[in-house]
Structures are given as structure tokens and as C-alpha cells.
Amino acid sequence: MPQLIDGKKISAEIKDELKAKVQRMKEGGVSVCLAVIQVGNDPASSIYVNNKKKACAYIGIESLAYELPEETTQEELVELVEKLNEDKKVNGILVQLPLPAHIDSDAIIRTISPDKDVDGFHPESVGRLCIGADGFVSCTPAGVIQLLKRSGIEIAGKECVVIGRSNIVGKPMSILLLRENGTVTVAHSRTRNLKEVTRRADILVVAIGKPRFINSEYVKENAVVIDVGMHRNAENKLCGDVDFEDVKGRVSAITPVPGGVGPMTIAMLMYNCVRAAEK
């Protein structure tokens, strides 16, 4: 069996470290507060938002929940974000995506103050990441870096291939691996000879969005495989973008789904909230 990269255990470690830190901050008179805004009641979003509130409660972060009706207008949402930008008590602002179609998500993200942008989605946060300046980093790719580091996997000098180029995962993931001195290739839907490209990878990060797409033919022997995908199959069981059973005999380390990258996203959101309060 390869090394199983245990996101449940590593995210629990991070949350416990943060809990202790928040306790110390409280003793010094500093509290941490996250505002979470959800528009409409998409069931998947409600689950995510609830998990975020639970993580806040565990760590000792105060969470303010804004559950707004589906009909909320762009102007009303902008007004709320601006009010929260001004509120000294609020350290982080998270607007749960996707927003209803009549709202311009990019405009809302740009309204969030970069100092409170705990999702790391604001163009200023992304720009800071690209030039290596201090700023908030998108939580899922930041979580992948923590998984690698805390599992003792060296990134410097390695061939890293990221499949997927989304603004939330693929692009920031590639920049973070570069920042850790990896040699980085980004593959995507227009990449020719994908198997040839992915078989170069010492570290393969898969964020394609297609269930069990990556089998052992895509993977170099002894590679480290990080699976960012999350799907439900026909039997209602969770699976990733990687065919775990087919790949596991070939790799040196791999993240399971569930219990790999998934739990790290919230842990890194909590990390960003604590940093926002420290600033």
C-alpha cells in the first residue's frame, strides 16, 4: 500500500493548533470573527456553510451568519459587504458561491476588502500571491501544500503537474507549487497527449472535475497523487477525479476521497481568519 495522506488527521492538527492560538489571543484581548453570507438555499451550499460555522465554534471563532433570500439584489448584497468591511469587529468575510445567476459574483468578490478576503478570491489577493507578497491564499490549494509539507513530501526541484486551471484551484495551486520551488506544468482540457504530460509528474495534483478520470496509465511509478475531485457515484458513494483502486499499486503516496483534500479547505479558511485577526 502507498502512504495514505490523511487529510482528516492533518486538518484536525491544524484546527487544534488554531484553537490554542485563538485561546491565547483571547487572553490578550483579541477576538476573531468571521461573517458568512449565503444567498438562497442551495442544499450543497447550506452543508458547506454549516460546516464552516461548526469549525468556527470548535476553534473559538465567532461566526455571524447572513442567510439572505434568493431574490436579494446585487445592490443589497454590495451594501451588506460594504457594511461588514467597515465593521471593526469582523475580521473575515466569506460570500458562499455560487451566487444566484442575477448577481455578478466577480463584482461581489471585488467589493470585499482585501484585508478581510479570507477566501483569497479578490484580484488583489491573487496578484499578491503571484508576486510573492503577503496576502490571503485560496483555501483548497493552500491545504494541498499543507498536506504535502506535513506528510514529509519535498516539493523543491520536483516535477509538479496540475490538471485544471480554475481561478479557485488550478491557477493558485500552480503558483503555490512554484513558490515552493517545484517545476510546474499546468494541464487542461486543451492539453495534447495528457498522459505523456502527467507521466512526467513526481507530484500530480488532479482538479479536473471528472469522476475517476485518472487511472494508472496517467501516473508515473512512485508519484505522489493529490486528488482534489469530489463526486457521488451511482451507488451514492463519494469518489474523486482519480481511480484510487487502479492507481494505488503504482504510487508512493495518495490522498483518499473522502478524507484527503476535502477537510483541508475549511482548516485553511480557519487559518486565514486567524491571520486576518492577527493583522
Minimal distance, residue 33 CB to ligand GUN, in Å: 17
Could you give phi then psi for residue 160, rounded to 5 degrees?
-110, 130
Catalytic residue among 6, 15, 38, 52: 52
Is beta strand 238-239 parallel, antiparallel or unpaired with respect to 231-232?
antiparallel
Q: Determine the Cα–Cα distance for residues 239 and 217; give it in Å rounded to an integer.
A: 19
Taking the least distance from each CB to ligand GUN, the nearer of 96 and 198 is 96
Return the range that interacts with ligand GUN (CB under 6 A); candidates 71-79, 90-98, 203-211, 212-220: 90-98
Q: How far is the CB of 27 from ligand GUN (least distance, A)?
A: 30
Active-site residue identified among 6, 15, 38, 96: 96
Count of all residues that appear for the chain in the document: 279
Q: Which of 72, 96, 174, 272 binds ligand GUN (CB under 6 A)?
A: 96
72 lies in the binding site for ligand GUN (CB under 6 A)? no
**Is residue 117 close enough to count as binding ligand GUN by CB under 6 A?**
no
Site residues (CB under 6 A) for ligand GUN, limited to 228-267: 265
153 is a contact residue toward ligand GUN (CB under 6 A): no
Amino acid 198 reads T
Query: Catalytic residue at 171?
Result: no
Rounded distance, CA 196 to CA 180, Å?
24
Shortest spacing between CB 269 and ligand GUN, in angstroms: 7
Is 52 assigned a catalytic role? yes
> Is the bond preceding 100 in cis, omega lying within 30 degrees of 0?
no
Between 120 and 256, whose beta carbon lies closer to ligand GUN?
A: 120
Longest dimension (CA), the chain: 57
Residue with cell 444567498: 39
Distances in Å between the Cα of 220 and the Cα atoms of 35, 160, 191, 201 are 43, 12, 18, 7
Q: How far is the CB of 248 from ligand GUN (least distance, A)?
A: 27
119 binds ligand GUN (CB under 6 A): yes
Amino acid sitting at position 92: G
Figure out which of the listed residues 22, 126, 139, 201 binds ligand GUN, where binding follows CB under 6 A.
139
DSSP string, 182-215: -EEEEE-TT-SSHHHHHTT-SEEEE---STT-B-
Q: Would you say 11 or 96 has its CB closer to ligand GUN?
A: 96
Residue 81 · residue 41 · CB < 8 Å = no
Q: For residues 242 and 172, give the distance between their C-alpha atoms in angstroms, rounded to a whole number.
A: 20
Q: Is residue 16 annotated as a catalytic residue, yes or no?
A: no
Q: Catalytic residues, which ones?
A: 52, 96, 119
Residue ranges in contact with ligand GUN by CB under 6 A: 48, 94-97, 119, 139, 265
